[in-house]
């Protein structure tokens, strides 16, 4: 089938897609002097594009959700790129989403209308075609055609109060699917069967007589569950076995068979399958060979998933950075360049990869903070790192290692209290692969969906940079006296103030964590404090009369800690300078006093 190449915006990049000539020509004919205005790349809104358009121009709307009420005009057709992914929602819910008033010779194609009271209102208009549109849950009417000449073909009317209102038999209704509506067709004349042909009917309230089977209007009705792929997710493609396949009027542009009923049949049908969902990746490397496994949910449209003539899937991949183009070349030992056509499966392994792992820069280990049977480490982020590995041991950092992921803080647990450990951190670099998956149908044209959401995985192991500097730390038991509920280790303060949640205790604990533990001298002081303080705390706890005296000794330390914790660096510097001046003045005073005494003696 011949096709027309048109640009499509995808994740900020321009790619191309082939649209069947029939789909474009239906709206663009005659092509010689018409213009296609693309929304939102050439016009910000649909209405802006319509206002700009001249007779015989076409407004082509890219997938997305558009919130506006639009008014069509004579000889300007408006079509969505993909029915299921081009959503139109009214900005003013009380007004028709689409208004056609006194216009003629136009087409409105391939949209999904949501959130509407009235989806489309047609007034005093002629030669209007509404096709391949999904009307989801219109609260008043999906289409109010009034007294106009309207061809309503190959649409889906789902869960609406009224699907079609018409006041003339010039409103023709063919090859549609009516599903779960309160009222299907409401006419102001006697016969609902006039100009109604080859529609599918399912679960509509007005066609389910009590105790009887549902019926349908017009010639060649089809009654039964249309087997939508996922109607609550607005996927109104038909699954294999649907009674609405090949029952419409005319031919399908997609597969050149008898037209299906519904939004994906007929001469103007959007041929693209919906994008693949649920894509996941995992590292499948083994035996020194790099590999990854991709898996996804099946596309259940009968043109993709079919027991006799299935479509299939393509896997696009690359390594390095996210986003298109997906131009990988290394799968299968270089024999499977992207994309890989994997057939009718929902999982595949790309093996014999050649991952590129640039060596990252080394990191700097900043702190090793002792905990109970553990040590917490902090280090700098390293350029090019995709993860980090902690090396540690009592005698050497080569004794043990653990990979901790792409973080800059991690703890090593299971250590022995009272033992000094050595620590270093290595920066890791792995090759990251990025993958998207598409579905294609079983037609000779292999109509292909838009790419899935991108997923990534690190595959093929990691390269490690030179190790960081070493730091040592000694884990310590932080609950040394059973009657002191202090998991943080401020034993004397807890005994003096009576509980570890007291503000004074917390201030001293925060001072310890922020100003002592990050430094070697501070860690030495804390370690010796842990050795000596449990006995002192036990004595204080056994002799409550000593608590006021101990609190008075601790008060200056608490005030000092609160000052450092609550003030800015500039304030601390200013106060430090002031204290330095006071010390200098006091030394000078003492020197003068000493000189005066020596003079008096002489």
| Residue 587 falls inside a structural domain | no
Q: How far is CA 587 from the centre of its chain?
A: 66
Q: How far is CA 135 from CA 65, 313, 352, 434, in A?
A: 15, 29, 48, 36
| Residue 22 falls inside a structural domain | no
Long-range contacts of 394-400 (CB under 8 A, 24+ apart): 394/419, 394/420, 394/421, 394/422, 395/422, 396/422, 397/422, 397/423, 397/424, 397/467, 397/470
142-161 residue pLDDT tens: 999 999 999 999 999 999 99
Question: Is residue 233 classed as helix, strand or coil in its secondary structure?
Answer: helix
Cis check for the bond before 427: say yes or no (omega within 30 of 0): no
- Beta bridge partners, 428, equal 387, 464
Which region among 226-240, 270-284, 536-550 has the lowest average model confidence (pLDDT)?
Answer: 536-550
Residues 313 and 195 in one domain: no
pTM attached to this predicted model:
0.69
| Residue 143 falls inside a structural domain | yes
Please check the confidence at residue 272 and state whether its pLDDT lies above 70: yes
- Report d(CA 476, CA 372) in Å as an integer: 5
At residue 526, φ and ψ (nearest 5 deg) are -65, -40
Residues 449 and 490 in one domain: no
- Tell me which residue range forms the domain holding 371: 365-430+463-472
Residues 373 and 349 in one domain: no
At residue 317, φ and ψ (nearest 5 deg) are -145, 165
Residues 406 and 498 in one domain: no
**pLDDT, position 498:** 66
Residues 39 and 103 in one domain: yes
Residues 97 and 204 in one domain: yes
Please check the confidence at residue 227 and state whether its pLDDT lies above 50: yes
Residues 369 and 423 in one domain: yes
**pLDDT, position 318:** 97
Please check the confidence at residue 177 and state whether its pLDDT lies above 70: yes
pLDDT band at residue 573 using 50, 70 and 90 as cut-offs = low
Residues 319 and 376 in one domain: no
| Residue 262 falls inside a structural domain | no
Residues 64 and 166 in one domain: yes
| Highest mean pLDDT (candidates 27-41, 207-221, 245-259) | 245-259
**pLDDT, position 595:** 66
Residues 152 and 292 in one domain: no
**What average pLDDT does the structure give for the chain?**
86
Please check the confidence at residue 332 and state whether its pLDDT lies above 80: yes
Report angle CA 349, 351, 356 to the nearest 5 degrees.
125
Please check the confidence at residue 353 and state whether its pLDDT lies above 50: yes
Residues 45 and 130 in one domain: yes
**pLDDT, position 569:** 62
22-81 residue pLDDT tens: 444 444 444 446 899 999 999 999 999 999 999 999 999 999 999 999 999 999 999 999
Report angle CA 585, 589, 590 to the nearest 5 degrees.
120
Residues 314 and 380 in one domain: no
- Look up the CATH number of the domain holding residue 422: 2.60.40.10
| Residue 26 falls inside a structural domain | no
More confident residue, 13 or 360: 360
- Look up the CATH number of the domain holding residue 231: 2.160.20
281-315 residue pLDDT tens: 999 999 889 999 999 999 999 999 999 999 999 99
**Domains: count for the chain:** 4
Please check the confidence at residue 382 and state whether its pLDDT lies above 90: yes
Quickly count: other Cβ atoms within 10 Å of residue 221's Cβ: 19
């Amino acid at each position: 089938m011949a096709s027309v190449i048109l640009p499509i915006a995808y994740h900020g990049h321009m790619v191309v897609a082939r649209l069947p000539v029939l789909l474009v020509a239906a709206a663009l004919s005659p092509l010689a002097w018409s213009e296609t205005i693309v929304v939102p790349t050439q016009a910000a809104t649909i209405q802006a594009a319509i206002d700009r358009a001249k007779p015989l121009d076409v407004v082509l709307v890219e997938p997305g959700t558009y919130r506006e009420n639009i008014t069509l005009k004579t000889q300007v057709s408006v079509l969505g790129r993909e029915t299921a992914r081009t959503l139109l929602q009214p900005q003013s819910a009380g007004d028709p989403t689409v208004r056609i008033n006194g216009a003629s010779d136009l087409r409105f194609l391939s949209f999904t209308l949501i959130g509407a009271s009235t989806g489309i209102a047609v007034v005093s208009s002629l030669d209007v075609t509404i096709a391949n549109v999904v009307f989801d849950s219109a609260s008043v009417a999906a289409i109010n055609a009034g007294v106009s000449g309207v061809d309503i073909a190959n649409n889906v009317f789902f869960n609406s109060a009224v699907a079609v209102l018409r006041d003339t038999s010039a409103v023709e209704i063919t090859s549609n699917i009516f599903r779960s509506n309160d009222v299907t067709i409401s006419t102001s004349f006697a016969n609902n069967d006039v100009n109604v042909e080859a529609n599918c009917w399912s679960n509509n309230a007005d066609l389910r007589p009590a105790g009887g089977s549902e019926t349908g209007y017009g010639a060649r009705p089809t009654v039964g569950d249309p087997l939508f792929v996922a109607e609550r997710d607005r996927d109104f493609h038909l699954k294999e076995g649907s009674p609405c396949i090949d029952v419409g009027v005319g031919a399908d542009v997609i597969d050149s068979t008898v037209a299906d009923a519904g939004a994906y049949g007929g001469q103007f049908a959007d041929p693209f399958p919906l994008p693949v969902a649920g894509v996941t990746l995992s590292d499948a490397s083994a035996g020194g060979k790099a590999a990854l496994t991709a898996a996804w949910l099946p596309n259940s449209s009968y043109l993709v998933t079919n027991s006799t003539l299935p479509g299939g899937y393509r896997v696009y991949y690359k390594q390095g950075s996210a986003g298109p183009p997906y131009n990988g070349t290394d799968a299968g030992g270089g024999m499977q360049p992207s994309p890989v056509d994997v057939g009718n499966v929902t999982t595949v392994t790309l093996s014999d990869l050649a991952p590129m792992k640039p060596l990252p820069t080394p990191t700097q280990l900043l702190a090793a903070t002792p905990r109970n049977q553990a040590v917490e480490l902090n280090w700098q982020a390293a350029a090019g790192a995709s993860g980090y590995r902690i090396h540690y041991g009592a005698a050497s950092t080569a004794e043990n290692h653990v990979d901790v992921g792409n973080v800059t803080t991690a703890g090593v647990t299971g250590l022995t209290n009272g033992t000094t450990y050595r620590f270093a951190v290595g920066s890791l670099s792995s090759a990251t692969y990025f993958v998207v998956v598409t579905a294609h149908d079983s037609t000779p044209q292999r109509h292909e969906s838009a790419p899935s959401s991108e997923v990534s995985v690190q595959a093929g192991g990691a390269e490690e940079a030179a190790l960081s500097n070493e730091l040592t730390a000694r884990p310590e038991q932080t609950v040394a006296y059973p009657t002191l509920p202090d998991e943080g280790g401020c034993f004397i303060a807890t005994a003096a103030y009576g509980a570890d949640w007291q503000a004074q205790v917390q201030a001293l604990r925060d001072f310890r964590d922020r100003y002592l533990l990050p430094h070697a001298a501070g860690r030495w002081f804390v370690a010796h404090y842990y050795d000596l303080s449990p006995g002192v705390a036990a004595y204080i706890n056994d002799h409550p009369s000593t608590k006021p005296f101990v609190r008075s000794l601790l008060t200056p330390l608490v005030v000092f800690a609160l000052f450092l914790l609550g003030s800015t660096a500039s304030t601390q510097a200013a106060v430090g300078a002031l204290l330095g001046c006071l010390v200098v003045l006091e030394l000078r005073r003492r020197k003068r006093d000493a000189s005066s005494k020596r003079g008096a003696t002489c």
